Amino acid sequence: MSRRIFFTLVITALLLACLPTITIPVATQPAAPTYTSVPPTAKPAFPTITTEPLLFTTPTITNSQDYDVRNSLTITNLGPGRASKLEIKIAVILDHPPTQDVLSFEATPGEMLPRIVDDFGNEFAVFEFYDIDPWESVTVAFHYQIRVYELHYAWSACQGEVIDAYLQPVTYIESNDPQIVALAAQLGQGLDTLCAKTRAYYDYVTSNLTYLAYNPGDLGALWALSEGGGDCTEFSDVFIALNRAGGIPARFLEGVVYYLGEYSEGDVKHDWSEVYWPGIGWAPMDATWGRHWEDRETYFAGMSADHIVVTRGRNLEPLEGGHFYLWNYWLESLATEMRDDEFWSVSKVEH
């Protein structure tokens, strides 16, 4: 997973004061997207990208767990010059029925610009800071109380119409590539429902891909198939690509998890997916955690009470295709450097 940064050099010398601002991008910037801004306290409408119903089938909820979730981003000016402006965008955790409810939310600083809402219904808090001196830091911090549900869908009733969204290929989910189309057709041959096809795709990914070392970059479904594995991002990309190639709507979820085990403390970011089934609705899937045989059924059309959705959708425009956050800054000297430090913690709330 990655994020992009660019900066703008502002010439402040008196003799050059009449000259226009010089822009020096570190990464090529895409065309500016169109956003809808709402006040921080407003709830966004469900994204108009699709005419989907909220839900057909109610899942079986077997457990729930409350979590204390903290997320902070600190930007430090390493000098030698001053940063005249800093803009930060950070994804805000929202309700994601039926898997999670946000019980409380607190932001520091409390004052922010109107939130941005993208086509997937994600919200992004926007902050601006000015005149950051060398070795000065600014921090944005979020504190949540979130209730997460353990649930499972019965998928025997899998008849009806599918929605016409979340079927197209996008960057890193190359569902129209001949290799992926052929593989989806081969795996789904002779299966009479979309749910059965999804199960075949899930079994293929969980059985044939190997979890490789965490890679902060984006590599995509084709890369993962050629290399035989990847991290949670690639597991999700391949699984979504196969479903879309098979005519099944599927979408990318990114968030954090509560996990005690092989991962280091604080390494809680994770990617998984949802698949839309006729007569059922959106069913959660985690092909990465499902690669362990003893967990395979838990993460097919179901989820344990430890996955917290932060965003849905791939290649998010407000983050310029990145993940979780984006920051831009304007400098008064080319020699000035800036550094970001992100922190997450997820801890259980015992009642």
Q: What is the pLDDT of residue 213?
A: 82
Average pLDDT, the chain: 84
Q: What is the pLDDT of residues 71-96, one digit of tens each?
A: 999 999 999 999 999 999 999 999 99
- Provide the Cα torsion 326, 330, 331, 336; round to 10°: 0
Element (H, E) at 186: helix 178-188
The tally of CA atoms less than 13 A away on the side-chain side of residue 93 is 33
> 269-277 and 250-257 as β-strands: parallel, antiparallel, unpaired?
antiparallel
Give residue 260's pLDDT band: very low, low, confident or very high (50, 70, 90): low
If one compares 80 and 38, the residue with the highest pLDDT of the two is 80
If one compares 32 and 306, the residue with the highest pLDDT of the two is 306
Instruction: For 24, list phi and psi in degrees, rounded to 5.
Output: -125, 95
Residues 234, 313: Cα–Cα separation, whole Å: 14
Residues 194, 347: Cα–Cα separation, whole Å: 37
Instruction: For 343, list phi and psi in degrees, rounded to 5.
Output: -135, 135
Q: What is the pLDDT of residue 334?
A: 83
Residues 237, 273: Cα–Cα separation, whole Å: 9
Span 148-157, average pLDDT: 91
Residues 302, 306: Cα–Cα separation, whole Å: 12
Residue type, 4: R
Q: What is the pLDDT of residues 200-245, one digit of tens each?
A: 999 999 999 999 988 888 999 999 999 999 999 999 999 999 999 9
Q: Which CATH number fits domain 5-55+67-145+317-349: 2.60.40.2250, 3.30.365.10, 1.10.357.20, 1.10.287.10?
A: 2.60.40.2250
What 3-state class would DSSP assign to 141?
A: strand
Element (H, E) at 58: none
Q: What is the pLDDT of residue 221?
A: 98
What percentage of the chain exceeds 90 in pLDDT? 72
Q: Does the CA dihedral 317-217-255-180 come out positive or negative?
A: positive
Structure token digits, residue 204: 């293929």
For residue 171, give the DSSP letter: T
In 153-222, beta strands by DSSP E: 210-211
> Has residue 51 got a pLDDT over 60?
no
Element (H, E) at 122: none
Give residue 261's pLDDT band: very low, low, confident or very high (50, 70, 90): low
Model confidence, pTM: 0.83
Structure token digits, residue 258: 């509560």
Q: What is the pLDDT of residue 252?
A: 98
Q: What is the pLDDT of residues 276-298, one digit of tens each?
A: 999 899 999 999 999 999 999 99
- In words, the CATH class of domain 150-312 is alpha beta
Q: What is the pLDDT of residue 56?
A: 56
Residues 211, 255: Cα–Cα separation, whole Å: 18
Give residue 12's pLDDT band: very low, low, confident or very high (50, 70, 90): very low
* Mean pLDDT lowest among 12-26, 163-177, 231-245, 268-282: 12-26
CATH topology of 5-55+67-145+317-349 equal to that of 150-312?
A: no
Q: What is the CA radius of gyration of the chain?
A: 22
The tally of CA atoms less than 13 A away on the side-chain side of residue 346 is 24
Q: What is the pLDDT of residue 326?
A: 98
Domain boundaries, the chain: 5-55+67-145+317-349, 150-312
Q: What is the pLDDT of residue 46?
A: 31
Mutual orientation of helices 194-208 and 232-245 as an angle, nearest 10°?
150
* Cα–Cα separations (whole angstroms), residue 180 to 164, 237, 240, 324: 20, 11, 11, 28
Q: Where are the alpha helices (DSSP H) in 189-229?
A: 194-208, 221-227
